Chains A and B, each alone.
Chain A
Amino acid sequence: GQQVMQIPQYQHVQEGEDFTTYCNSSTTLSNIQWYKQRPGGHPVFLIQLVKSGEVKKQKRLTFQFGEAKKNSSLHITATQTTDVGTYFCAWGGSYIPTFGRGTSLIVHP
């Protein structure tokens, strides 16, 4: 079956440092979505990537979809304390989104 790994599981950074989380699949993905869950909150949709090699930006967040559509990354430039939370990738988005384990970002002021 399809195997998608999300790494790292946790990441501690000092405020102002960059952060990246990765999702790697053993098979080609039709699309990939990213969600953010704040502590005590619920997942909130950030973006969907569909095209091979696609890159999208939202302010300090950069999302990439690999050329082979087997991996994706979320990069945050100059983290702020408001970035704290767990970031999930999700695949199979046109049908039933399946979520990765998430990467918990802890930002130290």
Chain B
Amino acid sequence: GQSLEQPSEVTAVEGAIVQINCTYQTSGFYGLSWYQQHDGGAPTFLSYNALDGLEETGRFSSFLSRSDSYGYLLLQELQMKDSASYFCAVRSDSGAGSYQLTFGKGTKLSVIP
């Protein structure tokens, strides 16, 4: 089966940096995605890592280590609007050329002044 672990809650100060970790166990691993969801909103795509290393997109960066089955999302220069839930998701091969996206339970980030 597939399993993902991420912290349930994180609190950080406005302007600071926060890292949200994600560890996973899966077969047929292809890549790790991150999604953001504000209360009452739809999940929105942030990043995808298929290879080891760091991917940077503005204030957000995502890292993957395939050998450690580990990744993280790094948010810099935190803003109040970054308060949301963040989900890591593993994209894996489910056989016959099809893929499945399995989500973690999410990390609720609260940014405080």
Q: Do A and B come from one complex?
A: no
